[in-house]
Amino acid sequence: MTINEIIARLEGGNARFVEDHLDGKLQDSSRRNSLTGGQQPYAIVLSCADSRVVPELAFDTGLGELFVVRVAGNVANTSSIASIEYAVAHIGTKVIVVLGHESCGAVTAAVQGGDNGYNLNHLLAHVSPALSASDEGAEVNDVVKTNAKLTAQELVARSTIIKSAVDKGDLKIAPAYYHLGTGKVEFL
Ligand SMILES: [Zn+2]
């Protein structure tokens, strides 16, 4: 599939999810057996860990279709970037969706500030560029969108593997925003 065909497939799957018409294909034993020798996912999704945001459902995909990396706040840290690099370099996956979502707890914590302990402070530091780029008193959901866009840029800035694939036209990075109630994925 071309990059445009992949985006169209994701949009089509999301439309089925929104309309409660999941086709639920590629989730059975024959699909499992067809994948034991390897994987060829056509898209990478960098998603938050939030239980309400499930990329495989939101895009109506089955086994082996999406390479999903999940971390609170869908941030680009060393581990999430390394995971994405694997799919780009070794599988040749052509699309990365950076999927922020409505009412994100991690972004809310970053907006509220304060000391959240060593580990969460470390994670929330990756959201701080989005805070800096937002107006004082900005709505959490606006910061979420800014965070998705800046994270897309960060992936290129911090990875020569990702940058080189983007420069060659082999890879597209698409920031997006997931609406909790409708299930709609809005590409930003
Ligand atoms: Zn979240």
Q: What is the pLDDT of residue 48?
A: 98
- Convert the pLDDT of each residue in 124-153 to its tens digit: 999 999 999 999 999 999 999 999 999 999
Ligand 1 center to 22 CA (angstroms): 24
Q: How far is the C-alpha of 126 from the C-alpha of 122, rounded, in Å?
A: 7
Q: What is the pLDDT of residue 185?
A: 98
Contact 72, 49 (CB under 8 A): yes
Could you give the 3-state DSSP secondary structure of residue 177? strand
Ligand 1 center to 102 CA (angstroms): 8
Q: Is residue 188 very low, low, confident or very high in pLDDT (cuts 50, 70, 90)? A: very high
- Convert the pLDDT of each residue in 8-59 to its tens digit: 999 999 999 999 999 989 999 999 999 999 999 999 999 999 999 999 999 9
Report residue 102 as tokens: 């409505």
Q: How far is the C-alpha of 75 from the C-alpha of 100, rounded, in Å?
A: 9
Ligand 1 center to 50 CA (angstroms): 5
Give 102's DSSP letter: T
Ligand 1 center to 151 CA (angstroms): 14
Contact 77, 127 (CB under 8 A): no
Q: What is the pLDDT of residue 36?
A: 98
- Convert the pLDDT of each residue in 88-100 to its tens digit: 999 999 999 999 9
Report residue 147 as tokens: 């965070």
Q: Which residues surround ligand 1, an ion (CB under 5 A)?
A: 48, 50, 104, 106
